Amino acid sequence: MSQSNRDRLLQIVRWLAVEFPTPFTVVLHCPKKIAADPGDKPSIRLTGYYGYTVRIGRKIHVRIAVRPGINLWIQIDTLLHEWAHATTTRQSKIENARLAHGAHDDEWALAHGRIYRRFYDDEGSEDSKTF
Ligand SMILES: [Zn+2]
Whichever domain contains 24, its CATH number is: 3.30.2010
Question: Which three-class secondary structure state does DSSP give residue 123?
Answer: coil
Task: Give me ligand 1 centre to Cα 127, in Å.
Answer: 25
pTM over 0.85: yes
**Residues contacting 104, CB < 8 A, separation 6+:** 112
Confidence of residue 11 (pLDDT cuts 50, 70, 90): very high
Task: Give residues with Cβ within 8 angstroms of 84, minimum separation 6.
Answer: 108, 109, 111, 112, 115
Q: How many domains does the chain have?
A: 1
- Interval between CA 85 and ligand 1 midpoint (Å): 7
Query: What are the tens digits of pLDDT across the range 38-51?
Result: 778 888 776 677 89
Each residue of 97-122: pLDDT tens digit?
666 655 788 989 999 999 999 999 99
- How many whole angstroms from 131 Cα to the centroid of ligand 1? 25
Cα distances (Å, whole numbers) of residue 29 to 53, 79, 84, 124: 10, 11, 16, 22
The residue range of the domain holding 60 is 3-130
Please give the distance, rounded to the nearest whole angstrom, from the Cα atom of residue 104 to the centre of ligand 1.
Answer: 6
